[in-house]
């Protein structure tokens, strides 16, 4: 692998690490300081489904992507905040200035919600990946990713250093060989 490609890979790993760390810091601050359980920096957010109330459509551990919205239509799967909890349910009716939602696996509808509680509409989901990604959001998961990235970068540096050392030894050996050859030709 040539030097330019190695440098590019190192930079990509460092940028990825910076992004992961930056997003985690942003999300943590948004949740703790502002009290926003689902920050949506560019009008999109992601969350992990924590219960089975939307079975079989959404299962526990699914990663959902949510588009920020201030209204929803009948049949939309929405995310809303109730107190400090995010709820993912389907809109089953509209009422005076609000919505009535219900989990697909639930027998009864929820209490109506206001549009102020609405975070957005679920756009798509990726089954089961949310559990693994949820681990990355923990301090231990973040540290593990950082440690892994550091180890990969360090391993790359060590391999490069070993290759440089091997090349240096080959050059020294060639110089020694050439000196010996010159020494043989100088004698009468």
Residue 185 bears catalytic tag? no
Q: Give CA–CA dist 48/38, Å, rounded.
A: 11
Q: Where are the domains of the chain?
A: 39-137
Catalytic residue among 53, 62, 156, 185: 53
Quickly count: other Cβ atoms within 10 Å of residue 78's Cβ: 23
Q: Give CA–CA dist 75/89, Å, rounded.
A: 10
C-beta of residue 127 within 8 angstroms of C-beta of residue 62: yes
Residue 53 bears catalytic tag? yes
Catalytic residue among 51, 59, 110, 112: 110
pLDDT in the model for residue 149: 78
Is the pLDDT assigned to residue 72 strictly greater than 60? yes
C-beta of residue 16 within 8 angstroms of C-beta of residue 149: yes
Q: Give CA–CA dist 146/159, Å, rounded.
A: 20
> Which span out of 8-12, 34-38, 47-51 was modeled with the highest average pLDDT?
47-51
As assigned by CATH, the class of the 39-137 domain is mainly beta
Task: Give mean pLDDT, residues 78-91.
Answer: 91
Residue, of 80 and 9, whose pLDDT is higher: 80
State the pTM of this model. 0.64
Residue 112 bears catalytic tag? no
Residue, of 36 and 170, whose pLDDT is higher: 170
Q: Give CA–CA dist 119/166, Å, rounded.
A: 59
Q: Give the pair of three-digit tokens for residue 42.
A: 């560019």
Place 76 in a pLDDT band, splitting at 50, 70 and 90: very high
Is the pLDDT assigned to residue 1 strictly greater than 70? no
Q: Give CA–CA dist 72/89, Å, rounded.
A: 12
pLDDT in the model for residue 101: 97
Q: Give CA–CA dist 148/17, Å, rounded.
A: 10
Helices (H) and strands (E) in the chain, counts: 3, 7
Place 80 in a pLDDT band, splitting at 50, 70 and 90: very high
Catalytic residue among 89, 125, 164, 186: 89
Q: Which long-range contacts (CB under 8 A, 24 or more apart) does 2-8 make?
A: 3/160, 6/156, 6/160
SS3 100: strand
Q: Give CA–CA dist 65/86, Å, rounded.
A: 13
Helix (H) or strand (E) holding 174: helix 139-186
pLDDT in the model for residue 38: 75
Q: Give CA–CA dist 2/60, Å, rounded.
A: 45
């Amino acid at each position: 692998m040539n030097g330019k490609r190695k440098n590019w890979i190192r930079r990509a790993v460092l940028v990825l690490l910076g992004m992961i760390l930056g997003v985690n810091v942003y999300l943590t601050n948004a949740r703790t300081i502002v009290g926003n359980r689902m920050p949506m920096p560019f009008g999109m957010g992601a969350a992990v489904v924590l219960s089975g109330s939307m079975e079989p459509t959404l299962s526990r551990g699914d990663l959902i992507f949510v588009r920020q919205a201030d209204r929803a239509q009948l049949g939309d799967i929405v995310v809303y905040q109730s107190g400090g909890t995010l709820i993912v349910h389907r809109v089953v009716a509209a009422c005076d200035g609000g919505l009535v939602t219900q989990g697909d696996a639930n027998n009864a509808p929820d209490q109506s919600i206001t549009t102020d509680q609405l975070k957005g509409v679920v756009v798509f989901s990726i089954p089961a990946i949310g559990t693994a990604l949820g681990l990355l959001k923990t301090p231990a998961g973040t540290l593990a990713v950082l440690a892994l990235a550091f180890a990969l970068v360090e391993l790359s540096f060590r391999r490069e250093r070993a290759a440089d050392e091997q090349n240096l030894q080959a050059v020294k050996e060639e110089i020694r060989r050439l000196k010996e050859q010159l020494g043989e030709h100088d004698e009468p």
